[in-house]
Amino acid sequence: MPIPPPQSLPAQSSPPLISTRQRRARLALRHRLARKAATPEEAAASVVALHGTDPATVFLSAGARLAAPDPAPVERSLYADRTLVRMTGMRRTVFVVPARLVPVVHHSSALAIARKERASVLKLLAEGGWDAARLEDVEAAVLRLLAESGDATAAELGVLEPRLRERFRVAVGKPYEGVVSVGSRLLSLMAMDGRLVRGARVSGTWVSGTHYWGLAPEMAELAVHEAQAELVCRWLAAFGPGTEADLKWWTGWTLKDVRRALAAVGAVAVRLDEGTGYVLPGDLPGEGPHDGPSGGPSDGPSDRADAAPEPWAALLPALDPTPMGWQARDWYLLPEHRAELFDRSGNVGPTVWWDGRVVGGWAQRPDGEIVWRLLEDVGADAVAIIEAEAAGLAAWLRDVRVTPRFRTPLERTLSAP
């Protein structure tokens, strides 16, 4: 999308204030939580990308934003239409992104991560006699095998190329020390490089994490600074206002890169409770409506009105992109709730939302029952709406059982039979 020219306020003006109430209203509308999306692609674009480290998150996050939640259209988008693509992106995290955003994420973030990952893999393999030439030879073999036989699982590739099955030790001397295969690191590295792509799941339900690998399609070339500006433009459209610290954390970039991208999109300074934030030009309070990242609702949020929606509730899954969208979270999550809802590494568990803020958590028990607990009093009307959301979630989950990959204290407590 065209990058807007810089826009600055008159020197004598102080930045306008965007209140917590206004931020919560924006979150509700732009993240398709108070006004639902029609398609999985629209749901994903509303938050830039869906977290994909835990396979279930993709479906649960999309379902929470869809007018008619169901795993079938998400699977169709991922595996048949390929309009959603699972890839490594910001902070070395696996995301599911709209296909048109793949080059932006790749050139803005994944390539830099791939360079560091390659150096790390070579260092680990050196003790086993591996060098760059041998690693490249195995990579060439993988590409040749996939070109000849089509998509294959990591196990199938390991049979055809035995060097992928060689094992080495990682995190030596640390509590999480372990042994992994060459293939487990190399195939992911090749995906970061843009040469492989994660394909359809192998078997089981949609919570299965085993998938096929295939050759990546041709990708548009973008300069790093152009890709970073595009990604920041989309983040501001979905998550703005946000601070430099929020963007630095979400992208995993340096502060220099963040500031350069903010300048490139002409970001406008605003006042927030936690300091200076930024929005896109034309997205100050009262200036909406404002087009989404590519100028239309099919690729992102299009309503920029500041009017608050009707009170709403949502049950969002572990690692959902909304609670993971900002580093500073006090405006939608009370600090005293964090220990119950996050693990020690900063991964959020399943959360209950009421009217723009986190008010509790939820879990699924082995028998399929959806259980939830409030961490504060929200009133009888809110409880009734939350109960309806929980019943709706149980209805479309049916016989599928979901256990988050990263367990949190409240989720463990609630899921116990």
CA separation for the pair 93, 104 (Å, rounded):
15
Task: Please report the pLDDT score of residue 8 as a whole number.
Answer: 47
Average pLDDT over residues 347-370: 97
Helix 111-126 and helix 132-149, axial crossing angle in degrees, nearest 10 = 120
CA separation for the pair 317, 323 (Å, rounded):
10
Convert the pLDDT of each residue in 361-388 to its tens digit. 999 999 999 999 999 999 999 999 999 9
Look up tokens 């300069």; give the residue. Answer: 223
Average pLDDT over residues 274-297: 70
In CATH, the architecture of 101-215 is Orthogonal Bundle (1.10)
Domain ranges of the chain: 1-35+230-417, 101-215
* Residue 171 pLDDT greater than 80, yes or no: no
- Rg of the chain on CA atoms, in Å: 22
Best-predicted range by mean pLDDT (179-183, 301-305, 394-398) = 394-398
Q: Could you tell me how many residues make up the chain?
A: 417
Picking from 356, 365, 369, the residue whose alpha carbon sits closest to that of residue 316 is 356
47 vs 274, more confident: 47
State the burial class of residue 355 (Cβ atoms within 10 Å of its Cβ: 0-12, 13-18, 19+): buried
- For residue 212, the SS3 value is strand
Task: Please report the pLDDT score of residue 11 as a whole number.
Answer: 46
Task: Identify the band that residue 29 occupies on the pLDDT scale cut at 50, 70 and 90.
Answer: very high
Task: Please report the pLDDT score of residue 176 as a whole number.
Answer: 67
Which residues neighbour 4 within 8 Å (Cβ) at sequence distance 6 or greater?
233, 265, 266, 280, 281, 282
Q: Which residues of 220-241 are buried (b: 16+ CB within 10 A; e: fewer)?
A: eebeeebbbbbbbbbbbbbbbb
* Residue 6 pLDDT greater than 80, yes or no: no
Q: Give the start-end residues of each E strand in 205-309.
A: 211-215, 268-272, 275-279
Task: Take residue 147 and report the two structure tokens written for it.
Answer: 């070109």
CA separation for the pair 108, 174 (Å, rounded):
32
| Rama region for 361: left / alpha / beta (φ>0; ψ in -120 to 50; rest) | beta
Task: Identify the band that residue 3 occupies on the pLDDT scale cut at 50, 70 and 90.
Answer: low
**pLDDT averaged over the chain?**
91
Task: Please report the pLDDT score of residue 21 as a whole number.
Answer: 95
* Residue 12 pLDDT greater than 50, yes or no: no
178 vs 219, more confident: 219
CA separation for the pair 27, 370 (Å, rounded):
25
Task: Please report the pLDDT score of residue 203 as a whole number.
Answer: 75
Instruction: Compute the Cα dihedral for 356, 362, 367, 369 and give only its sign.
Output: negative
Percent of the chain with pLDDT over 90: 81
Convert the pLDDT of each residue in 32-42 to its tens digit. 999 999 999 99
Average pLDDT over residues 170-178: 71
287 vs 396, more confident: 396
Convert the pLDDT of each residue in 257-279 to its tens digit. 999 999 999 999 999 998 999 99
User: How many alpha carbons fall within 13 Å on the CB side of residue 358?
Assistant: 27
- DSSP readout, 301-322? ------S--S--EEEEPTT-TT
